[in-house]
Amino acid sequence: MARDDIHTAVNADDEHRRLQYALAARDNAAEVLTDPHATRAEIDYASYYFADAEALIAQLADPDA
């Protein structure tokens, strides 16, 4: 889910849609990161998607950064 959301965010046509999907990607990744039953691979991927989503959210908050 986080993977699909981050890809949709990156390819979104407008900033509102981009932000909404980036937020969803971050939330989905956070769920995996806090799941005590997540595998090492799931945690690794979730970490990447969480970081990508955070970077996109930050960029949208301050486009001059």
Q: What ranges do the domains of the chain cover?
A: 2-61
- 41 half-sphere exposure, CB direction, 13 A CA radius: 0
| pLDDT tens column, 5-63 | 999 999 999 999 999 999 999 999 999 999 999 999 999 999 999 999 999 999 999 86
Place of tokens 């090492």: 40
Q: How far apart are CA 61 and CA 42, in angstroms?
A: 28
Contact 60, 18 (CB under 8 A): yes
User: What pLDDT is recorded for position 64?
Assistant: 72
User: What pLDDT is recorded for position 62?
Assistant: 81
Contact 9, 22 (CB under 8 A): yes
Q: Which two tokens stand for residue 20?
A: 């909404």
pLDDT-derived band at 65, boundaries 50, 70, 90? low
